[in-house]
Amino acid sequence: MLDKNSGLVIPEHVGIIMDGNGRWAKKRGLPRSIGHQFGAKNFRKVTRYISKTGVKYLTLYAFSTENWKRPFEEVNALMGIFKQYLIDSLTDFKDDDIKIVYIGDRNGFDPALKKLIDESEENAKDRQGMQLNIAMNYGSRDEILRSVKMLAKDVRDGRIDPDSITEEDISSRLYTGGIPDPDLIIRTGGEFRLSNFMLYQSAYSEFYSTEVLWPDFHEEQFDEAIRVFNQRSRRFGGV
């Protein structure tokens, strides 16, 4: 098990694209919804483990703005799992001292779900451990557009000079404003694309892809990602 004394550099911020629930279920002759249920169980286990390694921020890509295009039955099952998680989250991760924050467009959810999101965040706001960002109804292009619109409004209202706009002005208006960009982005399921996940924030993130499907991604797979991360030379555009 990795820990703060492992001798390895532990990323401050890790993002994970949790991919492969549907394929995991299909390989077993099960409905895709069952794959999502197993994925949700694994999410709790992996989150608890990562919180003990020294990672300060963990962002999990749970449901994208494009996922609404999936079959109604699958989306409905995902919303049911999310609702149950929100109910459980009022006590979930309490003993682990994990702070929970939801990023994404909440307007896409029904009022009852939005209320549960607010209650979940309020319940965990004073926790001092790792911050868990759950990206729900999240799309990075939409996030960037939202940031630009906020800047445009500030320019229109005379609160900011357009010639003085900085990268920080943009990043501070993203859902992840105020936290460091991800050092490492992990994608399960074998794909090599970001799929509209933290496009602005990942300019210099290291990327790690594994063939392992999300329900089978456990402590040893995360440890391997950290070992590979430690073999990278991060120059941030320099020599």
From the candidates 3, 21, 42, 67, which is the catalytic residue? 67
Distance (Å) of CA 116 to CA 88, 109, 110, 111? 10, 11, 10, 9
From the candidates 3, 19, 216, 223, which is the catalytic residue? 19
> Could you identify the residue written with the tokens 């549960």?
116
Has 110 been annotated as catalytic?
A: no
- Give the C-alpha separation, 141 to 101, whole Å: 20
Has 67 been annotated as catalytic?
A: yes
- Give the C-alpha separation, 73 to 86, whole Å: 20
Between CA 106 and CA 92, with CA 139 as vertex, the angle to 5 degrees is 55
- Give the C-alpha separation, 83 to 86, whole Å: 5
CA neighbor of 121 nearest in space, from 159, 92, 151: 92
Catalytic positions are 19, 67
